[in-house]
Amino acid sequence: MTQTLTIPRPDDWHLHLRDGAMLQAVLPETARHFGRAIIMPNLVPPVVTGALAAAYRERILAALPEGMAFEPLMTLYLTEDTDPADVAAAHASGLVKAVKLYPAGATTNSASGVTNFDNVRAVLEKMAEIGLPLCTHGEVTDHDIDIFDREAVFIDRVLDPIRQSTPGLRVVMEHITTKNAADYVASQEQDLGATITTHHLIINRNHILVGGIKPHYYCLPVAKREEHRLALRAAATSGDKRYFLGTDSAPHTDPNKESACGCAGCFTATNTMSLLAHVFEEEGALDKLAGFASENGPAFYGLPVSSETLTLTKQDAPVAFPEKIESGDGPVTVFDPGFPVFWNAGG
């Protein structure tokens, strides 16, 4: 018997589309299934003003294939020079839905991020006043902190102090990777949500390192121990409205991934919905998938749930996903879960 699951059309609350030829290649992979996405601003140069966000949005819409419907939700890259008035104006216009905090040096194209958090206090206070969410890349970059501990230390040293000193600031902990983060979110009653990626529900650090280095599993924040992966699965499939999908789908060309200094990021836009159906079925929680992928994110951002739908169909033979997506910059490898997947998201 054919098994199907119909959910409201999902949204991606953390997405990298890049620019130029890469944007042209990867945008259709997201727009095939997702109605909206929070677009990351870590271009070179970064999207730091309302004017730059408006220009980037136009480039995204120009790259959208005819017949596809997709709404990019724009963000600003927080720097120590960010103007609170520009942020407020961009938000008031309806253009900007969040501001992104990258600790300097934390991930791809984050060199312009924040070093001294006192220098962004005025921006954070304005955001709390107007209800504009802060999306955080939750890692410290201190050289004395082990890379596997960066997220837990960020909560104690940066996130909790910011929230305590800025009442009313709405925060999204993006791409959480630890039980520490999941537990922190669960302990907070308001103004805090968290995105969880598809790949962090599937891989742990063994997948990256056992049997040789697997560059296409390398991402930041890096995958952690198995106990953390299981905690993320429990959070994502719990039905708790504070957790929602943010794929952090991050395309890099194969030469940039398979180099002596491989870029961080997993490209999951193509097969995320099929993989999520697989994971949620394994956890006996298919009835919770709509909340995680389609409902909890809009609720946090104050947006309506999509009136459109996506139907997933479980088939007898494994779904054949493309191994790579070709771009004008070079091939991009699609995330391989390492097991057969039978849920087809269509499109």
Kindly list the domain boundaries of the chain, sorted by start residue: 3-344
Which residues does residue 37 pair with via DSSP β-bridges, in sequence order? Answer: 12, 72
Q: How confident is the model at residue 116 (pLDDT cuts 50, 70, 90)?
A: confident
pLDDT beyond 80 at 109: no
Per-residue pLDDT tens digits for 248-287: 999 999 999 999 989 999 999 999 999 999 999 999 999 9
Q: How confident is the model at residue 117 (pLDDT cuts 50, 70, 90)?
A: confident
pLDDT at res. 92: 98
pLDDT at res. 136: 97
pLDDT at res. 113: 77
pLDDT beyond 60 at 1: no
- Other C-beta atoms closer than 10 Å to the C-beta of 109 total 17
Q: How confident is the model at residue 108 (pLDDT cuts 50, 70, 90)?
A: low
pLDDT beyond 60 at 167: yes
To the question of pTM greater than 0.85 for the whole model, the response is yes
Six-digit token string for 65: 């294939």
pLDDT beyond 70 at 110: no
Per-residue pLDDT tens digits for 45-95: 999 999 999 999 999 999 999 999 999 999 999 999 999 999 999 999 999
Is there a contact between 273 and 35 (Cβ–Cβ < 8 Å)? no
The answer to whether 83 is a known catalytic residue is no
Is there a contact between 113 and 150 (Cβ–Cβ < 8 Å)? no
**Residue from 11, 12, 240, 248 carrying the catalytic annotation:** 248
For range 236-258, the mean pLDDT: 98
**Beta sheet of 243-245, edge-to-edge order:** 11-15, 36-39, 71-77, 96-101, 134-136, 171-173, 192-196, 243-245
Token pair 């479980």 is found at 314
Q: CATH number of 3-344: 3.40.50.300, 3.20.20.140, 1.10.1020.10, 2.50.20.10?
A: 3.20.20.140
For range 308-337, the mean pLDDT: 98
- What are the φ and ψ backbone dihedral angles of 192, each rounded to 5 degrees? -140, 130
Average pLDDT, the chain: 96
Q: How confident is the model at residue 21 (pLDDT cuts 50, 70, 90)?
A: very high
